Structures are given as structure tokens and as C-alpha cells.
Homo-oligomer: A and B are copies of this chain.
Amino acid sequence: MNTIVQPRRRVQPIVNIDLGLRELPIFKKLSEEEMLNVELNSVVKNFSKRSVIYREGSRHSGLYCVLKGIVKVYKIGGNGKQQILKFAQKGDLIGYRSLLTNELACTSAKAYEDTVLYHIPQHIIMELFQQNWNFTHETMKFMCKELKESNMFITDIAQKSVRERAAEMLLILKDEFGVDKYNTLQITITREDLANMVGTVTESLIRVMSEFRNENLLELPGRKIVFRDIAKLKAIANI
């Protein structure tokens, strides 16, 4: 039996090639030279399901870009209850806010599935911002998208009922994560987390989901969510 450990240096570049970085909107704006410099300085990080990526109040050394998996971004309210702000997925940026303002993180992030993130150090990102307007513009557009969604969400949560918000949130999840050929939602989410997105308690969310099931708008086999009548859900959501 050979006990000599083989060197594994060649693994790193091979991994990079498979990441498909260049296909993400944000990286498409970089020149080949810039991209190589990013790759030279960035790290691929794996997070297993449920592991914490960062916590509210921590300091970030760079920017995360989601390559694979799903990240739950949330805030903890005064009573310890989570408010989920978004589920980030492939191509989404997280942790950019505190990078730009040099403040501490105002949200927490957790891997919702086994997740692969790309961590780009702060100085590389800031360099790119200064050099490459297209890259900066793309980032700003991403920020604008989040601002728009926040504004819509504030209005909804302030004015709509739990039933309306639940219907709307299901449709948003459908848009973001898609469905398979049986109309099964392609993210597995606990009732508690769905409640934490909608901004209610688990019991209320479950009651609304049961209503939807009884009205033949959804099927709920196990933890799956199957859409049966999207038009009616849209009508309920009032969108």
C-alpha cells in the first residue's frame, strides 16, 4: 500500500473552469484580463445546508456571488423572530452593502441547500468599480432591482392580508425558482420559513395554505408545493 499523498495542485484551475463564471450577468461585463485577475484573487467556498455564511453585525472582507445552491438572507427582529428578506440563488450578489459603506452587516445569511459561493476580496471589487463602468452599472442595476422589490414588499406587507401575501409569495417563489413539468415548486421550503417570508406566524400560514388546498389552488404532498390554479392565485394575490 502506497502511503505517499499525491499533490493536488491541478485541481484548483480545473474547478474554476467548471464554475461558469463568465456566464453570469455580472461577470459578462469584465474583460478577459479583469476576469483572470478576479479568478487569481478569489476563493470558491462551499457551505453545507444550514451552515451560517455571515451574521448580522459581522464585518465582510469582500463580496459573495452565488454559484450554486440557495442562500437565505434574513434579519432577526426584536423578539428573535426571523424576517426573510430574500432567497439568493445563482448569479445573485450578497454582502455588497457593507462592502460599499464599510459598515457592519445588517442581515444574516445561511445556506438553504448545499451552496457554492464565490468570494471576491474587497480591494479587487473596488478596483473593478473604478476601472469598469459596465461592471459597476450592472451592480447598480442589481441594487435597483432589490430596492424596487423592497418597496413593493413594504407596500404589500403594510396593506395586504396574510392570505393575499401568501398567494403572492408563492407566485414570487414560482417565478424565481420555477416549477417542474408537474408544476411542483423547485424549492423546498418549510412552513415556518414561508411564514417568515410572508411576515406572519407558522400557524396562520398553514391555515392559509390549507385553504388554498381545499380550494384546489394547490396540492401539498409532503413538503412539496404543486400549483393547480395559478390564475386564481394571482387574483387572490391582487397583482
Contacts and interface: CB of A to CB of B under 8 A. Distances in A.
Contacts of A151: 75, 85, 106-107, 150
Given A100-B137, A136-B136, A75 B129 contact: no
A170 to B, nearest CB: 17
A141 interface: yes
Please state the number of chain copies in the assembly.
Answer: 2
* Interface footprint category on A: 35 or more
Given A107-B151, A238-B78, A159 B83 contact: yes
A224 interface: no
Nearest to A143: B143
Interface string A95-122: 0010011010011000000000000000
Contacts of A97: 144, 147-148
Interface of A: 75, 77-79, 81, 83, 85, 97, 100-101, 103, 106-107, 129-130, 133, 136-137, 139-141, 143-148, 150-160, 199-200, 238-239
